[in-house]
Structure formats: structure tokens, C-alpha cells
Amino acid sequence: KSFFNQEGSGFLDNKSAIWQVESEYLGRVVRIVLEQIAIAESKAQDRLTDATLERQWMFENATHRVGLDDDWAELMFQIRDTHRREQEYDLVQKKADRLRLMAATPFFGRFDFREHGYALGEVFYVGLYSLSDPDSGSFLVCDWRAPVCSMYYDYEPGLAGYHCQAGAISGELTLKRQFVIKNGLLKGMFDSNL
């Protein structure tokens, strides 16, 4: 295993360049997570305000008007709409909670995989939850439960593969790295080698 820490002691000659690249990637991910938290919190507040105003309107108006079938239909529609907004609030709030967890430790691992038949490989960062780039849509962090991430747990560098909806995918795991991240800062990392 090759170890790196914040002070730069380690066993690889290019440790400072690797540290810099990984720190910059982490910084980019943390910035996007913080932006997504702000967006989610704003949406949650909007949904909560909407639901509160609708409940207030129902309390002040609907109870006095109910008497005809049309009034009941309108009241039922209003109740369903309010319930939908409350569910939207809950979903957005849960997303914000997940993002807050990600801000402290967005990912804990990385692996590089080159599928058979392709000249270039892909880099996968593994975390508790997935995170996509809002501009490109590409994954910045993959949920540890994703099929492709099984390689992080099942293989060391060398021949590797996984199963997904497209079938069995095989290739070569060219890098496997673990990170120590605390409060959004890179504290250490090490590579797993054969």
C-alpha cells in the first residue's frame, strides 16, 4: 500500500501532484454540494410556505363554504394539493439532509476502470450518495450501492468486472484509492496495490 497524508510524507515520488489533483477535485465536489444544499433549502422553504398558506386558506375559507357537492369536491382537491406540497417539502428536505452529510465527506474511495475493448478508462469516486455535475450531468460521485461500485469492494487492481442491466462488464481495475476526508478537507489517502 502507498500512503499519503496532509504533510506529504508517503512512498510515491509524485505524491504532491497526486495530493493537489485530489484536493482540487474534492474542493470542486464540496462547492457543488454546498450550492445544491442552498438550492434544496430554498425549494424546501418554498414548499413549506405554499403548504402553510394553503392550510391557512382552507381553515379560514373552506370550512365555512362546505355544503354543496361542488364545495366538497373543491375542498378535496385543496386537501390533495396541500398534501402533495407537504410530500414535496419532505422529499426536498431529505435531499438537503443527504447533501449536508456529503459536505463533510463527499466520497471515501476512488477506482479507475478500463473496460475491455476501450483504450481509455473511467474514474469513479465512491460515496454514500450519488452527485452529478449540474451543468454536464456527469457523475462526480457514485453511490456505493451502484452496480459499478461493487468492483471497489470486490477487487484489487487487475482484472475486474461487474454485472448490470446491460449484462456482465469486464476489464481492468487500474487504481484503487481510499481517502480520509473530514469536514470537507482531504486529510489522507492511500492506494491499494498488488
Contacts of 118 (CB under 8 A, 6+ apart): 171
Share of the chain above pLDDT 90, in %: 58
Is a pLDDT exceeding 80 seen at residue 156? yes
Return the residue matching grid coordinates 456527469. Answer: 138
CA distance 29 to 119: 27
Choice among 49-58, 60-69, 87-96, 131-140 with the minimum mean pLDDT = 60-69
Q: Round to whole Å and give the CA distance between 33 and 55.
A: 32
Q: Are 113 and 172 in contact (CB under 8 A)?
A: yes
* Angle, helices 15-57/69-104, rounded to nearest 10 degrees: 160
Residue corresponding to grid cell 477535485: 25
51: confidence class by pLDDT, cuts 50, 70, 90? confident
1 pLDDT tier (thresholds 50, 70, 90): very low
Q: Which residue has the cell 461500485?
A: 149
Show me where the domains of the chain are located. Answer: 37-102, 105-191
Q: Report pLDDT digits (tens) over 52-85.
A: 777 777 777 665 555 665 666 777 777 787 788 8
Asked if the model's pLDDT at residue 86 lies above 70, the reply is yes
Residue 22, pLDDT > 70, answer yes
